[in-house]
Structure 1
Amino acid sequence: MPVPLREPGGLTLVDGPDLTGRDVHAIWTIRDVVFAVEQQCDEPDPDVVDLQPTTSHLWLADAAGITSYLRTYVSAAGVRRVGRVCTRKDARGSGLSGSLMQHVLDRWGTERIDLGAQAYLHDWYAGFGFVRDGEDYVEAGIPHVPMTRPPA
């Protein structure tokens, strides 16, 4: 079992089963603020994916908590997915989510990677090599675009 990566002031990468209670609280705090409060998503955030063995949580933090976060996991269909990408309001615009996405590509870029992009972020994900892979849809009350990135 790999040891969770926890670099002081740097990237943290923890697999679902290795999350501590403190980790879960910090993750759900940023996701709640961004998705439930700011974006007023109409679906609950916590799900069974968070604790699965194929799920990895990546984040950056400062003294106030997580600044930017995402999770990646292997779906039931055997395809790696990225989701729950979010950045704390006071840390936006500083490239933190881009750093996390680049880490995902560096680590898992030889695999196909799928995601459901909020529609307004289509071009941002396209900058990482993702392309549209279907029709728009609404999830949690927000327009999304299915996207995929072929193996590098």
Structure 2
Amino acid sequence: MTLADDLTLRVAAFRDLDAATLYRLLRLRVDVFVVEQGDPYAELDGRDLEPEATHIWLARDDEPVAYLRVLEDPDGTARIGRVVVAADARGLGLAGRLMAAAIEHIGARTSVLAAQSHLADFYRRYGYEVTGPEFLDGHIPHLPMARHPR
């Protein structure tokens, strides 16, 4: 059994998250995006609270090791964000498992994301294409990308 074999895929709306689970998910995001990547920004943007927000993660027991969220933009487009994998779980295909789950959840709707520029090829594997110029989010270059289901 590998490290990735004993993980459980979980999906929940904000209202269905207990405090301990929410804390663990937010800690993972802050540990990677703020601490590891050295980008001090307001990671808690309020969008986690939206009724349409869906949190998708892989957990070992109660500990999340990979996470993303799916939001709904005002025009009905799905927005994937906060794709994160714990440092000790990278290279096991976990982000890909989450993306597959997110795409299944989104269904036939168009979806968008802001990819860290060095990860654009990863998102292309899931049908995303660059839709605009590179921009800085904090100090990290990003590319806007979209997926239009056929």
TM-score of the superposed pair, with normalisation by structure 2: 0.91
The answer for the alignment partner of 1:54 in structure 2 is 52
Q: Look up the equivalent residue of 1:93 and give its one-letter code.
A: G
| CA–CA distance in structure 2, aligned partners of residues 19 and 72 of structure 1 | 15
Identity percentage of aligned residues = 34
Q: Deviations over 1:60-100 (max 9, x none)?
A: 11147111000001012321000000000110000011001
Of 105, 108, 119, the residue aligned with 2:106 is 108
Bigger shift: 45-54 or 58-67? Answer: 58-67
Secondary structure of 1:11's aligned partner:
strand
Match of 2:119 among 114, 121, 124: 121
Q: Unpaired runs of 5+ in structure 2?
A: 1-5
> What residue in structure 2 maps to residue 45 of structure 1?
43
For 1:18 and 1:64, locate their aligned partners in 2 and report how far apart those are by CA, in whole Å: 15
Q: Distance in 2 between matches of 1:82 and 1:63?
A: 25
More displaced stretch, 11-20 vs 126-135: 11-20
Are 1:133 and 2:131 an aligned pair?
Answer: yes
* Residues 17-48 of structure 1, C-alpha deviations (whole Å, 9 max, x = no match): 22211121011110011001111123111121
TM-score of the superposition, structure 1-length normalised? Answer: 0.90
For 1:125 and 1:111, the matched residues in 2 are separated by: 17
Q: Distance in 2 between matches of 1:47 and 1:127?
A: 28
Counterpart CA distance in 2 for 1:140 and 1:50 is: 19
- After alignment, is 14-23 or 93-102 more displaced? 14-23
Q: How does 1:1-152 map to 2 (within 5 A)?
A: 9-63=7-61, 65-152=63-150
